[in-house]
């Protein structure tokens, strides 16, 4: 039970949220691991799409980039990037978009653009990439991030992709018809939006995590659901499959 | 009409100081050799555009070639931030570049609109976010049938598009396959284009009737540079050198180390080094399939 | 998610009176067998759309299935006019259908916009011509960057798209190749889709990594109907029956002869006749390549 | 010299107007014969594009439709129809678009939509197809039509595709930047737009054709250039190649 890391728990909890019928727009890092773990365990027919254009891909190792050759080699088909954004994302064919970021606020708005002022940034982050439109065109959005005071902030320096704005009507007011972030899966907990306020609320704590751990790692006063569950610990199958992927991936990426 | 040239001549004839250039390639087929030739020839004041400015633009920026960059995601994919870009934006070294920032959807649509000869791209995007507040090139227009407000950005129509492809025939028809990104759109949107290829062959061979082929009359110059995408990859020829992407983080972290690397591997080298890089890595376990 | 069905069941479950339907196929892969099944099942009040309504729509119109047609070029290609369409429009037989007329560029863009989930298509078109005077679904909008006035039409988003493809695998993933027209766009733009195929195979085989494949979760029903495109063609399976296109001119010239032909070849026949039609024509000189 | 038909002369005169560097958007009928004749005689490297998506095609027989399999089999590549209209035609890559029609006026405006009133037509013609945008996006337009009083009219019943409107400024006023119709090649003559008025003017009469023949077959008073040339008669090579194509085509289309 104690033989897993918070990072593994995060990936495994994210994988469990996916189903066989999902069509996922996968980002790099934890989302890629979670999606492929789901595919290799309980959701063998899940469709994974990377924004490089690969549709229905089934990589044996995790890609370092969103366009590694492995993704194309194992895909059902590979389309151009304009087509990916027009027909597949904007066309409304993605059930789950996965996002992460450098900063998140309690409503699931994300910042991957700058720390500090936009024109004179303290840290120039990579920018939004696909995120602004993944956030509005996917049926729903799952966010995976490790909790930290630097990342979980009261107010974003820049809104790169839209979550729930500041409350229940803000997506509709911005002309957005999709659900937005429905799960925030961290290394400590699973959060879901409060049905009334849309603020992310802890619904499940990972094994061994306390409410105090949550409070110490977010820059606002976190809300907890009326009944907070304990996230089931990783099964040995989940851990074995995940570690095997990571081992294959490390070997492939370091060229050993 | 395509002319088959050395890379040196292709760059000298087609890329000038002050040009706007799209070096494209979405993780696959990134034209590293061509960018190195541009650096070697000392081009300045370039406006460079690219959906995912990774190492290739970190190098151009660090070597002072760039005046302005139009982009959507500036990172070393899966590794981290771009340290030469950060040094320019945060510290002004070697000088501060101007940024025009978009989303991937916006740039993909803008290349598509450029290829389609339209003045702007129209899509559903940028809702609720801050980018339109800092980029005057993001506007809206209204669907005349439904009243829905849609995003609009100017189409991208660079002076020059630079891409790496798998092969060309001797007439200059260019073939690419796999993750084709926005390369076809970039070439069709540009006034001129340079295409480096792994090989030049008599005949493109038995490709699909719907293969991605750029007819010779859509391309300005073709140059054979085997390995010319390294550390990116060419499907069927050599894989992505992920270890190099990881190594770049340390090389680029320090100004001196960066300059030494560029001197040894770019300024004092030539396009031929690319073939060596991929052959030494891959000959043992990879057979070209084409 | 694709279900593999008989053509009869696929039509019965997915096409209802009053639906809007795109039977697409640009000269290649026109879904004749599926249209005949719709006629046989007596569907009425259909709004049908198609860039090039040729014989397939002449038959639907002549049999009284159609209320409205959205189209760009209504002719028997290389042969002449459509006589059943003319009889409806000029003489009201069997009844007068409503027409919404566009150009090819407009409809191609409108399917593309439908696949892209947009409410309208924007393009450079219709300048100086009379069609906008007689079609309220042609409007303009203005580029917010250049001031250029562009044409806009509503995107096409039919209830059902019906196409014929080369093959599907047993999961329902669909492959087409050659002249692919607007079929992929029509399927992606539609609420439901029916795809007839020459064959259903275990595996789509060694196709290009960029092949035109419709994933099973974009398709509603797949039905195997060998020869189902006749007199159109299926690349690698059988050629276009140009002689039949020429013969149709005489068959359709006369109401009685038309009705007799439809009775003998459609109402009193079934999807199986299509395999016979192409095998008797072509077995001597054409080997399927797939 | 007399051993050719007016129709053959029309096709041959049209073929001669094409060069090796042209990228032609080919229509069915006379344009297709002319373009392929050019390819098989003086312009072997000409690029022929059919709107079905075939680029750089070289058919051995003339297609009956714009999408016969022969076109795809012999093409450099084949693209989707939306791409054909967006990247290739609207993208400004076509040097010569070929058009014909049921009716033409003296300014090269064409009607292929209706004879009579639009809503209660005497004859419902096929409609515009690709013509409205071929007419505005090709660098220039060549028109081939057989002369007749029914087809060469003083006033069109419907403007399906735009030529020069009613004079020299009308294209610019409609927001069109391309040249428009620069040649009208008929069974009797070659016409070119008057540089000042843009009205089509006879610049070359085919062998044996009189001015009276022209006047008798157009519904307006035709203008003649200051010096009207005689179209050179078909060479034996031109005739042989053209007749060979037609013979192959007839055999293929009737299934014999």
Name residues of chain C where pLDDT drops below 50: 283-290
The residue with tokens 């996230």 is A231
Distance from CA of residue D150 to its chain's centroid? 18
Burial class (CB in 10 A: 0-12, 13-18, 19+), A152: buried
Residue of B nearest to D81 (CA): B210
Determine the Cα–Cα distance for residues C49 and C72; give it in Å rounded to an integer: 9
C141 in D contact zone (CB under 8 Å): no
Q: Stretch B250-261: mean pLDDT, rounded?
A: 98
Handedness of CA C142, A87, A54, C23 (dihedral sign): negative
- Flag whether residue B146 sits within 8 Å of chain D, measured between CB atoms: no
Closest CA to D192 of D142, D231, D148: D142
| pLDDT value for A28 | 76
- What's the rounded Cα separation, in Å, for the pair A154 and D73? 62
Other Cβ atoms less than 10 A from the Cβ of B13: the count is 14
Same domain membership, residue B85 and residue B143: no
D166: tokens are 């009613």
- Given a contact cutoff of 8 angstroms between Cβ atoms, the answer to whether B23 and B195 are in contact is no
Residue C290 inside a domain? The answer is no
Confidence (pLDDT) at A66: 80
Give phi and psi for B90, each to the nearest 5: -85, -35
Question: Could you say which of A8, A51, A70, A199 is catalytic?
Answer: A51
The two most distant CA atoms of chain A are separated, in Å, by 52
Residue B206 in contact with partner chain C when CB distance is under 8 A: no
**pLDDT tens digit sequence for D4-55:** 999 999 999 999 999 999 999 997 778 899 999 999 999 999 999 999 999 9
Chain C residues lying within 8 Å of B211, measured CB to CB: 208, 210
Q: What is the pLDDT of residue C77?
A: 85
Residues sharing a CB contact under 8 Å with residue A25, sequence separation 6 or more, in sequence order: A49, A50, A51, A89, A94, A96, A97, A98, A130, A134, A138
C221-224 and D47-50: which strand pairing? unpaired
B125 with A68: Cβ contact below 8 A: no
List of chains touching D (3+ CB pairs within 8 A): B, C
Rounded Cα gap, residues B79 and C142, in angstroms: 43
**Helix, strand, coil distribution of chain D in percent, nearest 5:** 30, 25, 50
Query: What range defines the domain where residue C235 resides?
Result: 3-100+162-278
Strands C75-76 and C80-81: antiparallel
Asked if residue C201 and residue C272 are part of one domain, the reply reads: yes
Would B58 be classed as within a structural domain? yes
Answer yes or no: CATH 3.60.9.10 is held by domain D6-251.
no
User: pLDDT at position C281, please?
Assistant: 59
Cα dihedral B154, B157, B159, B160 in deg (nearest 10): 130
Q: Does residue A133 carry a catalytic annotation?
A: no
Closest approach of chain B CAs to the CA of A176, in angstroms?
Answer: 7
Side-chain half-sphere CA neighbours of B213 within 13 A: 26
Q: What is the largest CA-CA distance in chain C?
A: 60
Same domain, C110 and C196: no
What span, in angstroms and rounded, lies between the C-alpha atoms of C265 and C271? 10
Instruction: Report the half-sphere exposure of C197 (CA within 13 A, side-chain side).
Output: 27
C-alpha distances in angstroms, B53 versus B74, B104, B197?
A: 5, 11, 21
Task: Give C-chain residues touching D174 at CB under 8 angstroms.
Answer: 127-128
Q: What is the pLDDT of residue A49?
A: 96
Q: Any CB–CB contact under 8 A between C195 and chain D? A: no
Q: Look at residue B289 and tell me if it is in a domain.
A: no
Chain B residues whose CB is inside 8 A of the C208 CB are 177, 207-208, 210-211
Rounded mean pLDDT of chain C?
95
Task: Name the residue ranges covered by the structural domains of chain D.
Answer: 6-251
pLDDT tens-place values along chain A, 256 residues long: 458 999 999 999 999 999 999 999 997 778 899 999 999 999 999 999 999 999 999 998 888 888 888 899 999 999 999 999 999 999 999 999 999 999 999 999 999 999 999 999 999 999 999 999 999 999 999 999 999 999 999 999 999 999 999 999 999 999 999 999 999 999 999 999 999 999 999 999 999 999 999 999 999 999 999 999 999 999 999 999 999 999 998 888 775 4
Indicate if B172 and B255 belong to the same structural domain.
Answer: yes
Point out which residues pair with A78 in neighbouring strands: A54
Whether C235 and C200 map to the same domain: the answer is yes
Domain count of chain B? Answer: 2
Residues with Cβ within 8 Å of D155's Cβ and at least 6 positions away in sequence, in order, are D105
Answer positive or negative: Cα dihedral of B103, B108, B109, B115.
positive
Mutation target to probe the D interface, by most D beta carbons within 10 A, among B2, B118, B210, B216 is B210
pLDDT at B286: 34
Tell me the C-alpha distance between D171 and D162, whole Å.
8
pLDDT of A2 = 56
CA distance B123 to chain C (A): 7
Closest CA relative to residue C179, chosen from C22, C27, C23: C27
Range B226-235 average pLDDT: 97
Taking contacts as CB-CB distances below 8 angstroms, the residues of chain C near D63 are 78
How far apart, in whole angstroms, are the C-alpha atoms of residue A137 and residue A44?
25
Residues B91 and B170 in one domain: yes
D127 pLDDT more than 50: yes
pLDDT at B272: 95
Asked if the model's pLDDT at residue D235 lies above 60, the reply is: yes
**Which residues in chain D are closer than 8 Å to C127, comparing Cβ atoms?**
132, 136, 162, 174-176
Q: Does C224 contact chain D (CB < 8 Å)? A: no
C144 touches chain B (CB under 8 A): yes
Per-residue pLDDT tens digits for D81-121? 999 999 999 999 999 999 999 999 999 999 999 999 999 99
Q: What is the pLDDT of residues C169-205, one digit of tens each?
A: 999 999 999 999 999 999 999 999 999 999 999 999 8
Report the share of chain B in percent with pLDDT over 90. 93
| C90/D contact by beta carbon, under 8 A | yes
Least Cα separation, residue B279 to chain C (angstroms): 24
Interface mutation vs chain B, best among A27, A69, A75, A249, most B CBs within 10 Å: A69
Q: Give this complex's ipTM.
A: 0.96
Give the pLDDT confidence of B185-209 residue by residue, as tens digits: 999 999 999 999 999 999 998 899 9
Q: pLDDT (tens digit, 9 = 90+) per residue, D138-176?
A: 999 999 999 999 999 999 999 999 999 999 999 999 999
Q: What is the band of D2 on the pLDDT scale with cuts at 50, 70, 90?
A: low
Q: Which residues of B touch A80 (CB under 8 A)?
A: 180-182, 184-185
Residue C124 is classified by DSSP as S
Of C117, C173, C210, the CB nearest to A78: C210
* C116/A86 CB distance under 8 A: yes
Single out the catalytic residue among D51, D70, D199, D238: D51
Sign of CA dihedral C134, C138, C142, C147: negative
Contact: B89, A121; criterion CB under 8 Å? yes
User: pLDDT class for B284, splitting at 50, 70, 90?
Assistant: very low
CB < 8 Å to D77, chain B: 209-213, 215
Neighbours of D5 (CB within 10 A): 11
Among residues D246, D213, D236, D244, the alpha carbon closest in space to that of D3 is found at D236
Same domain, C171 and C246: yes
Residue C238 and residue C132 share a domain: no
Q: Is B224 part of a structural domain of the chain?
A: yes
Residue B288 belongs to some domain of the structure: no
Average pLDDT of chain D to the nearest whole number: 95
Q: How far apart, in whole angstroms, are the C-alpha atoms of residue D200 and residue D105?
A: 9
- Cα–Cα distance, A47 to A23 (Å, whole number): 5
Helix C83-91 crosses helix C255-262 at what angle (to 10 degrees)?
130
Beta bridge partners of C71: C50, C101
Same domain, C57 and C137: no
Amino acid A255: pLDDT: 58
Within this chain, do residues C145 and C73 fall inside the same structural domain, yes or no? no
Nearest chain C residue to D76 by CA: give it: C178
Instruction: Enumerate the residues of chain A whose CB falls inside 8 A of the CB of residue B81.
Output: 123-126
Contact between B246 and A254 using a beta-carbon 8 Å cutoff: yes
Q: Which residues of A touch chain C, with CB atoms under 8 Å apart?
A: 21, 23, 47, 55-56, 72-73, 75-79, 86-87, 90-93, 137
> pLDDT tens-digit profile of A57-84?
999 888 888 888 889 999 999 999 999 9
Same domain, C79 and C148: no
Euclidean distance between CA atoms B116 and C284, whole angstroms: 44
Domain co-membership, B96 together with B110: no
In this complex, which of A82, A89, A158 lies closest to B111 when CB atoms are compared? A82
CA-based nearest residue to B189, from B125, B285, B108, B89: B108
Which residue in the set B120, B144, B207 is minimally distant from C120, CB to CB? Answer: B144
- Mean pLDDT of chain A, nearest integer: 95
């Amino acid at each position: 039970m104690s033989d897993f890391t918070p990072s593994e728990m995060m990936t495994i909890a994210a994988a469990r949220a996916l189903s066989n019928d999902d069509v996922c727009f996968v980002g790099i890092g934890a989302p890629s691991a979670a999606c492929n773990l789901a595919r290799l365990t309980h959701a063998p027919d899940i469709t994974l799409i990377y924004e490089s254009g690969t549709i229905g891909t089934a990589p044996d190792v995790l890609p370092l980039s969103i366009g590694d050759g492995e993704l194309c080699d194992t895909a059902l088909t590979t389309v151009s990037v304009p087509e990916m954004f027009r027909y597949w994302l904007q066309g409304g064919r993605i059930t789950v978009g996965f996002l992460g970021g450098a900063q998140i606020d309690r409503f699931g708005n994300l910042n991957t653009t700058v720390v500090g002022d936009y024109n004179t940034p303290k840290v120039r982050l990579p920018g939004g990439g696909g995120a602004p439109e993944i956030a509005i065109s996917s049926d729903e959005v799952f966010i995976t991030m490790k909790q930290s005071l630097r990342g979980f902030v009261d107010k974003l320096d820049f809104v790169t992709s839209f979550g729930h704005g500041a409350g229940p009507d803000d997506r509709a007011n911005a002309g957005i018809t999709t659900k937005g972030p429905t799960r925030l899966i961290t290394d400590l907990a699973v959060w879901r939006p409060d049905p009334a306020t849309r603020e992310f609320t802890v619904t499940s704590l990972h094994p061994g995590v306390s409410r105090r751990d949550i409070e110490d790692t977010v820059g606002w006063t976190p809300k907890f659901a009326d009944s907070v569950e304990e996230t089931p610990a990783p099964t040995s199958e989940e851990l074995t499959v995940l570690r095997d992927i990571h081992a294959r991936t490390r070997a492939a990426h370091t060229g050993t | 009409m395509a002319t088959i040239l050395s890379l040196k001549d292709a760059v000298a004839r087609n890329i000038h100081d002050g040009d706007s250039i799209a070096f494209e390639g979405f993780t696959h087929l990134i034209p590293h050799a061509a960018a190195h030739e541009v650096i070697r020839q000392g081009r300045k004041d370039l406006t460079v555009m690219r959906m995912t400015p990774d190492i290739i633009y970190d190098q151009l920026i660090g070597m002072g070639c760039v005046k302005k960059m139009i982009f959507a995601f500036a990172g070393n994919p899966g590794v981290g931030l771009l340290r030469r870009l950060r040094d320019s934006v945060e510290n002004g070294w070697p000088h501060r570049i101007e940024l025009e920032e978009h989303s991937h959807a916006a740039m993909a649509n803008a290349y598509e609109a450029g290829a389609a000869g339209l003045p702007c791209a129209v899509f559903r995007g940028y809702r609720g976010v801050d980018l339109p507040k800092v980029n005057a090139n993001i506007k809206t227009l209204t669907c005349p049938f439904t009243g829905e407000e849609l995003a609009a950005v100017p189409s991208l129509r660079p002076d020059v598009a630079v891409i790496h492809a798998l092969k060309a025939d001797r007439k200059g028809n260019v073939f690419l396959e796999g993750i084709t990104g926005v390369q076809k759109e970039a070439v069709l949107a540009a006034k001129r284009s340079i295409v480096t290829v792994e090989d030049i062959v008599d005949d493109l061979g038995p490709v699909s009737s719907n293969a991605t082929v750029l007819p010779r009359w859509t391309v300005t110059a073709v140059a054979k540079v085997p390995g010319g995408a390294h550390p990116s990859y060419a499907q069927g020829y050599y894989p992505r050198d992920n270890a190099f992407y990881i190594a770049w983080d340390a090389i680029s972290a320090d100004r001196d180390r960066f300059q030494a690397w560029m001197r040894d591997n770019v300024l004092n080298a030539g396009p031929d080094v690319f073939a060596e890089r991929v052959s030494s890595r891959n000959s043992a376990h990879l057979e070209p399939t084409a």
